[in-house]
Amino acid sequence: MICLLLYNCSCVLKLDAKILIIIILATMPFLKTIVNDNSKIGLWEINESMPKINEIAEKLNEQIPKNLTSIKRKKEWVCTRALLNEISGKSKIFYDSSGSPNIDGKFISISHSKNLVAIILSDKNCAIDTEEISEKSKILQSKFSNKQNLNKKESTIVWSTKECIFKLHKTKKISFKNDITVDINNIQKNNKVFAMYNNHRYSLNMFTFKKHIIVYL
């Protein structure tokens, strides 16, 4: 069962008969609450000016780290915390020794791609990844996949799926190319993608948003 929290809807993306995803205009995040496993997913499209970013940071009582020098990284940092605040009422993020994000009382996974921020919160271990559908993944596919001649959407899905498995296990010992296999044969039929890692089969959810692939579990 899927329950949605809606804001100023601009369009509806239908994934299947049971799931509707609402895309939000401007700086409001799109929120989806997955009732059956107590998870929330949020997307934030970054289009704010730096004065607006500074204003958001001030409202959150957050200070942008001084070691962040690029405008892009500053915007990602603030919008990530703004999105987290929207879906949880908290903005503080802590990082463990592996570099994985943590918040009090929930599992969390975060992803950035171009001007998009994606967050998943859950009572269970979780992962999310977003990648822009582009020629980049097709050009680099030999580095993360043994399957060649994938089109750019297929290669982006494979890349994002493997990123999710990597984040779920929080170990740098995983070889993207050799340890994780992705079944791309039935991806388009039910917005599910299946992967194998360490003799375990994973069923991941997938959807697209403004030329981005979002994969999560």
Q: Which tens digit of pLDDT belongs to each residue from 37-81?
A: 678 888 898 989 999 999 999 999 999 999 999 999 999 999 999
Structure tokens at 206: 């997938």
Phi, psi dihedral angles at 194 (to 5 degrees)? -110, 140
Domain boundary assignment for the chain:
2-126, 131-216
Report the amino acid identity of residue 145.
S
Structure tokens at 164: 């999710």
Q: What is the mean pLDDT of the chain?
A: 82
Our CA angle for 141, 143, 145, nearest 5°, is: 55
pLDDT at 208: 87
Long-range contacts of 61-65 (CB under 8 A, 24+ apart): 61/91, 62/91
pTM for this predicted structure:
0.84
Q: Provide, rounded to the nearest whole percent, the portion of the chain with pLDDT above 90.
A: 47
Burial 71-81 (b: 16+ CB within 10 A, else e): eeebbbbbbbb
DSSP assignment of 84-107 equals: HHHHHS----EE-TTS-EEBTTBE
Tens of pLDDT, residue by residue over 11-24, are 344 444 334 444 43
pLDDT at 185: 79
pLDDT at 189: 64
